[in-house]
Amino acid sequence: MSIAQMRITDIRTTTVAVPLEAALRHANGCHWGRFIRTIVEVDTDAGITGLGEMGGGGESAETSFRGLKNYLVGHDPFALEALRFLIANPTAGLYNNRTQLLAAIEFACLDIVGQALGVPVHALLGGKLRDAVPFASYLFFRFGGDSTGCHEVRTVDQLVSMARALKASCGFTSHKLKGGVFPPRHELACYRALSEALPGDSFRYDPNAAFSIEEAIRFGRAIADLTNDYYEDPTWGLNGMRQVRAAVPIRLATNTVVVNFEQLATNLRDPAVDVVLLDTTFWGGIRPCLKAAAVCETMQTGISVHSSGELGVQLATMLHLGVVLPNLTFAADAHYHHLVDDVIAGGKLKYENGAIRVPAGPGLGVRLDRDKMETYAALYRRLGDYRYDRDPARPGWFATVPNSAWADPEAAFWFDGNSARAL
Ligand SMILES: [Mg+2]
């Protein structure tokens, strides 16, 4: 069969829950000790199956993908521009936003095209400029306990020892602290201690827009003497970020308020951020990230690769993107090292000197391990969804923007899989 005649015949989805080393706290709540991801398999009449992945929010997306089947069966997986309008037309999409679904289908179609042509996805994107993508450590405050017996991270010393351990095991030279959990004075002490403990490395801090403009300016000025990659989403909104940018001598980055081309254009006309963190899911696929990166290259706006929580399929999309970007001057982000396992054949991709090599095989270069898929699908059926935007240690609390109701840095908690108890 010629590839010109290839058609999508089915879309299959499996929701998996893959354990994290520990429950990870963030400004909006918590990753409750596991990532819930929907693995997408797109079948074709050529016998080639492409892989996609979607996650976020602690919930399955299977129902949403089921609704796409009627749109996509019969579609040519090579017709990627048409795919965008077929399911995510910008005006029709006002009623039914499918940007993230489009991303997962785009991953799978690129995987199919690459397999059909016998080339890796990066070759379809212009060809790799490097063999591996450097990553930052992604340091979270976290609960103690859980099945892996990992230690909690709450105090300055606990955070510094975690950073040292990750540097030793993975080779990171850039470190990201996910904040917005504890009072800013505690997180400032943590961030400064990291810088002092790891001289020569660079740092980035991301409180997920939890600060008021005034708090963001105070914190930014208090870290301005450190080796910062950038200051990520200290406050909410392009207008808030613009005010912070004018008052703080650090580059600002975002993965929240420049996540589409309209926002990118607005930011270029009236800059609010200096570095756009490209997320293959939020932007609707690898190709839109590449287009945005080209605009940023022309305008000399910084870029990096964002992590919205990934298993190996999504990580592969980040790697194929990362190796073709000429202007990737910052280490990418990944949650990947917090996972205890993966659903891809051969197990987790490995860090070498803080970087992960792009898979060499055709398409995305990763395939599913069926036993692992069944194991973690069963774990999902047992544990179910979780509330990503709630903190199991603070019943009744929910995040506001800006926030001022911080978690107590003196309070230790033990997390057992679905609830936290004070120690
Ligand atoms: Mg962020």
* Model confidence pLDDT, tens digit, residues 54-84: 997 899 999 999 999 999 999 999 999 999 9
| C-alpha pair distances (Å), 278 with each of 61, 81, 116, 167, 322 | 22, 19, 27, 24, 10
Q: Three-state secondary structure along the chain?
A: CCHHHCCEEEEEEEEEEEEECCCEEECCEEECCEEEEEEEEEEECCCCEEEEEEECCCCCCHHHHHHHHHHHCCCCCCCHHHHHHHHHCCCHHHCCCCHHHHHHHHHHHHHHHHHHHCCEHHHHCCCCCCCEEEECEEEEEECEECCCCECCECCHHHHHHHHHHHHHHHCCCEEEEECCCCCHHHHHHHHHHHHHHCCCCEEEEECCCCECHHHHHHHHHHCCCCCEEEEECCECCHHHHHHHHHHCCCCEEECCCCCCHHHHHHHHHCCCCCEEEECCCCCCCHHHHHHHHHHHHHHCCEEEECCCCCCHHHHHHHHHHHHHCCCECCCECCCHHHECCCCECCCCCCCECCEEECCCCCECCCCECHHHHHHHHHHHHHHCCCCCCCCCCCCCCCCCCCCCCCCCCCCCEEECCCCEEEC
Domains and CATH numbers, the chain: 3-123+372-382 (3.30.390.10), 126-363 (3.20.20.120)
Q: Rounded to the nearest whole angstrom, what is the distance from the C-alpha of residue 256 to the centroid of ligand 1?
A: 7
- The CA angle 296-81-67, to the nearest 5 degrees, is 115
Catalytic residue among 26, 75, 176, 178: 178
What is the rounded CA–CA span in Å between residue 264 and residue 73? 33
Q: Rounded to the nearest whole angstrom, what is the distance from the C-alpha of residue 10 to the centroid of ligand 1?
A: 34
Q: Rounded to the nearest whole angstrom, what is the distance from the C-alpha of residue 4 to the centroid of ligand 1?
A: 40
Residue at token pair 């910008």 = 90
pLDDT value, residue 93: 87
| C-alpha pair distances (Å), 248 with each of 214, 221, 230, 303 | 11, 6, 11, 19
Residue 107: how many CA atoms within 13 Å on its side-chain side?
35
Closest CA to 166 of 136, 196, 133: 136
Q: What is the mean pLDDT of residues 159-167?
A: 97
- Tell me if 234 sits within 8 A of 216, measured CB to CB: yes
pLDDT tens, 293-320?
999 999 999 999 999 999 999 999 999 9
- Tell me if 176 sits within 8 A of 304, measured CB to CB: no
Q: Rounded to the nearest whole angstrom, what is the distance from the C-alpha of residue 18 to the centroid of ligand 1?
A: 22
pLDDT range class, residue 4, cuts 50, 70, 90: low
pLDDT above 60 (res 253)? yes
pLDDT value, residue 2: 55
pLDDT value, residue 278: 98
Catalytic residue status for 167: no
pLDDT value, residue 415: 87
Q: Rounded to the nearest whole angstrom, what is the distance from the C-alpha of residue 232 to the centroid of ligand 1?
A: 6
pLDDT above 60 (res 1)? no
Q: Rounded to the nearest whole angstrom, what is the distance from the C-alpha of residue 17 to the centroid of ligand 1?
A: 22
Q: What is the mean pLDDT of residues 13-37?
A: 96
User: To 10 degrees, what angle do helices 286-299 and 261-269 make?
Assistant: 10
pLDDT range class, residue 145, cuts 50, 70, 90: confident
Catalytic residue among 26, 31, 176, 306: 306
Q: Rounded to the nearest whole angstrom, what is the distance from the C-alpha of residue 177 to the centroid of ligand 1?
A: 10
Q: How many CB atoms lie within 10 A of CB 369?
A: 18
pLDDT range class, residue 191, cuts 50, 70, 90: very high
Q: Rounded to the nearest whole angstrom, what is the distance from the C-alpha of residue 389 to the centroid of ligand 1?
A: 15
Catalytic residue status for 306: yes
pLDDT value, residue 171: 98
